Amino acid sequence: MPLIHVSNHPLVQHKLSRMRDKETDPKKFRDLVKEISGLLAYEATADLVTVPVHIDTPMASMTAHELKEEVGLVPILRSGLGMVEGFWELVPTAEVWHIGLYRDEKTLKPVQYYNKLPIDPRVQVCLILDPMLATGGSAVATCDILKKWGVKKIKFVGLIGAPEGIALMEQHHPDVPIHLACVDSHLNERGYIVPGLGDAGDRQFGTG
């Protein structure tokens, strides 16, 4: 069973409420995606491995710590793009690799249309970024791609998840931890999360 981490941070819950509101305009929506992503990034990176390093402060020499693992961000196009800035503010050295998937509206299955991963991974940890873990198809497909690429440590980070998407991840990738701001009730007949917030891509880019 995958490790499910649902944030109970008051700021996350406050900002998520503002995002859900149908009156929130695209500019504010994008700002909130970035802000919540930064808060989730703090939680999702809590177990990154560090190594001791020797440094000199203005007062004395000491042993400090720095990250040992290189981090890669994998936003699922297009809605995952809005989460990158929040993560970059905390991990500015993270590499970003884009994977393009869209959901077939008839089958609700993911269809890959873009993948520019290099031949071999240059990172030890990959964080998949997608605001909505709905059917779970895109998350599962991205995990498949990253594991085939050779990444050993993968996490999924999203804003809202549905039980159906979590269950699919549990079935196919029980070793991948899932970090979310909230788990909602269910999916409707169109595969949208209820109560959710609508289409995260459309609301970010004003195309709804």
Q: What are the catalytic residues? A: 103, 107, 199, 202
Nearest to 157 by CA among 31, 4, 49, 28: 4
CB 91 within 8 A of CB 39: no
Q: Partners of 154 in the beta sheet?
A: 126
CA distance 194 to 165: 13
> Residue 206 has what DSSP assignment?
T
CA distance 1 to 177: 9
**51: burial class by Cβ within 10 Å (0-12, 13-18, 19+)?**
exposed
Q: Partners of 171 in the beta sheet?
A: none
